[in-house]
Structure 1
Amino acid sequence: MRIVVIAIGRLKQGPERELADRYRERFEEIGRKLGFRGLEIHEIAESRARDAATRMTEEATAIAAAIPEKSVLVTLDERGENVDSAAFSRYLARWRDGGTNNAIFAIGGADGLSPELRRRASLTIAFGAATWPHQMVRVMLFEQLYRAATILAGHPYHRA
């Protein structure tokens, strides 16, 4: 199963990018042995529309256009479900073992994701009730993907 993160906005050079790259590389190394075909990132430019509703709609259209057929869509949103790391790893394993071709993780821009896109998702998750900058959400998602892979591999990284 291929894992694709579709994110609004670019992650510029700096500590967030370095940390995201580190977790992405770690995931890819252990993930290949577990049947994951890589971790791709598709960055989509932020909409320049004047109002938030139009920006969210334009960004949702761009995200939807990047989602391949036979994919599971997971949206990241502060109103989502709080999923612990073990449960997150079980979702990944279930999708992989069930023949899902792609697990798509969508991260919205400053205005968040459109309600229509969130309704389309198989799962909406939150990293707590706080609102996080989308750059940090990307880093936290990559870390959780790596952590999930270590759980599935029986690696000691995850201690719970």
Structure 2
Amino acid sequence: MKITLICVGKIKEDFYRKAVSEYVKRLGRYCRPEIIEVADEKTPDHAGEALEELIKEKEAARILKFIKEDAYVFTLEIQGKNPDSVSFANQLNQLAVQGKSHIIFVIGGSLGLHESVSKAADQAISFSNMTFPHQLMRIILLEQIYRGYRIIKGEPYHK
């Protein structure tokens, strides 16, 4: 199984990069992880709604270039389904059983995702009603994918 994270923006802080690297290494036992970073747009303070929409459109164009038709696509959105770790693991496993060989997760930038990206997704998921920095969300997502594979394999970790 190939797992791709498409993320808006780069991780600048070393401690975040180390955490991402650690989870990518751990996931290598279970899948082929890949992280694609697309450039984020600078958002001026007090940007109006029209400018924010334009920024999301530009980021969406970059994201959509990497979405493959044969992949199952999750977007991370506050309005998405909020699975627990076991049901998330079960869904990953079910997708594999159904023959999906590529799963893509999309993490938007500071303004969120443009509706064109949401429409291209098979499912929107949410990890919380709270807002997290997208750099931290990348780590949380990777940890949950890793936890999911541990659950699928019956390995101790998820307790």
TM-score above 0.5, yes or no: yes
- Partner SS state of residue 144, structure 2: helix
- Provide the C-alpha distance between the structure 1 equivalents of 2:96 and 2:4, rounded to a whole number of angstroms: 13
Partner of 2:150: 150
Aligned to 2:22: 22
Match in the other structure for 2:87: 87
Q: In the alignment, does 2:97 pair up with 1:97?
A: yes
1:119 corresponding residue in structure 2: 119
Q: Distance in 2 between matches of 1:94 and 1:42?
A: 25
Please identify runs of 4+ aligned residues in structure 1 that moved more than 4 A.
none
Question: C-alpha distance in 2, partners of 1:158/1:43?
Answer: 29
The aligned runs of 1:28-39 (5 Å cut-off) are 28-29=28-29, 31=30, 36=31, 38-39=32-33
Residue 13 of structure 1: how far off its partner (Å): 4.2
**3-state DSSP of counterpart to 1:77:** strand
Partner Cα distance (1:78, 1:20) in 2: 22
Cα displacement string for residues 93-117 of structure 1 (whole angstroms, at most 9, x for unaligned residues): 1111111131000000011001221
Give 1:90's aligned amino acid.
N
Q: TM-score, normalised by structure 1?
A: 0.90
- State the distance in 2 between where 1:49 and 1:88 align: 33
Cα offset, 1:49, TM superposition = 7.1
**What TM-score results when the alignment is normalised by the length of structure 2?**
0.91
Q: Larger deviation: 148-157 or 8-17?
A: 8-17
SS of equivalent residue, structure 1 residue 109: coil
What amino acid is the match of 1:108?
G
The C-alpha deviation readout for 1:77-135, integer Å capped at 9, x for no partner, is: 11211111111111111111111131000000011001221122111111110011100
Which residue is equivalent to 2:34?
40
What value does the CA root-mean-square deviation take over the aligned residues?
A: 1.4
Larger deviation, residues 46-55 vs 1-10: 46-55
Query: May I ask how many residue pairs the two structures share in their alignment?
Result: 153
Calculate percent identity across the aligned residue pairs: 33
Distance in 2 between residues matched to 1:97 and 1:2, nearest whole Å: 14
For residue 68 of structure 1, report the CA deviation from its aligned partner.
1.8
